[in-house]
Amino acid sequence: GDSVTQMEGPVTLSEEAFLTINCTYTATGYPSLFWYVQYPGEGLQLLLKATKADDKGSNKGFEATYRKETTSFHLEKGSVQVSDSAVYFCALWGGGAQKLVFGQGTRLTINP
Amino acid sequence: DAGVIQSPRHEVTEMGQEVTLRCKPISGHDYLFWYRQTMMRGLELLIYFNNNVPIDDSGMPEDRFSAKMPNASFSTLKIQPSEPRDSAVYFCASIVGGSTDTQYFGPGTRLTVL
């Protein structure tokens, strides 16, 4: 079945560092890909998405490019801030199942 | 729009008691999802509905769990009897059909079973 694998956390960085969180997927067909973010004490919210190969999703300085050849959707940000501390989930929606398939989440902590 | 509404936000109960969690999806959304989140197992999909009909309940852990959606604006997740291992944050989410749409999550219900 469809699956998503994220780099294991936790990830700890200093403010203004470059961020990469790796995400790879396995799916039949051509899924849509998402990054969701969960701030402490809150539900998940959409950060960005891409619906077809080579699309780049971007929001709040974060970017991710849908790479069909490597089945990847890595999340990047050039200069992180303390307020980016959260748990990040990679997800896909595709194949026959009408539901999101989530990765295990990566906890990110940014120190001032 | 108020977003997805869940109640209660926090629930503390004793083992063996019945627990009912409630969710009001965003108006016009035709899919509703129930998730459970724990440190050990992460985010798990329990069940989802389309147009009030349960489509996939393969994630429901056992017969103690049941979910209903009597109409388009209300769903419940019931645990009877509750056990300490059911302690988790339960999220409800809704989406208007379509693979490219955003799934909106509620704030969650933190359940503690003593």
For the stretch A34-55, pLDDT in tens is 999 999 989 999 999 999 999 9
- What is the average per-residue pLDDT within B25-46? 92
Confidence band for B24, pLDDT divided at 50, 70 and 90: very high
- What is the average per-residue pLDDT within A5-22? 94
C-alpha B24/C-alpha B42 separation (Å) is: 23
Contact predicate A11/A63, CB 8 Å: no
In this complex, the residue of B42, B93, B99 whose CB is nearest that of residue A105 is: B42
C-alpha B21/C-alpha B39 separation (Å) is: 20
Cα A30 from chain centroid (whole Å): 17
In this complex, the residue of B56, B91, B104 whose CB is nearest that of residue A99 is: B56
At residue B98, the pLDDT reads 63
Burial of B84 (C-beta count, 10 Å sphere; 0-12/13-18/19+): exposed
Confidence band for B100, pLDDT divided at 50, 70 and 90: low
Check CB contact under 8 Å for A43 and B105.
Answer: yes
C-alpha A34/C-alpha A49 separation (Å) is: 4
Integer-rounded Cα Rg, in Å, for chain A is 13
Confidence band for A96, pLDDT divided at 50, 70 and 90: low
Q: CB contact, 8 Å: A89 with chain B?
A: yes
Check CB contact under 8 Å for A94 and B99.
Answer: yes
Q: What percent of chain A has pLDDT over 90?
A: 77
Q: What percent of chain B has pLDDT over 70?
A: 96
Picking from A99, A104, A107 by the largest number of B CB atoms within 10 A of its own CB, the best residue to mutate is: A99
Least confident segment among B22-31, B61-70, B91-100? B91-100
Mean pLDDT value across chain B: 93
b/e B12-36 (16+ beta carbons within 10 angstroms → b)? ebeeeeebebbbbbbeebebbbbbb
Neighbours of A24 (CB within 10 A): 17
> Count of A–B CB contacts within 8 Å?
49
At residue A9, the pLDDT reads 84
Confidence band for A97, pLDDT divided at 50, 70 and 90: low
Confidence band for A94, pLDDT divided at 50, 70 and 90: confident
At residue A2, the pLDDT reads 86
Residue A98: is its pLDDT beyond 90?
Answer: no
Mean pLDDT value across chain A: 93
Contact predicate A73/A33, CB 8 Å: yes
Q: Which helix (H) or strand (E) holds B43?
A: strand B42-50
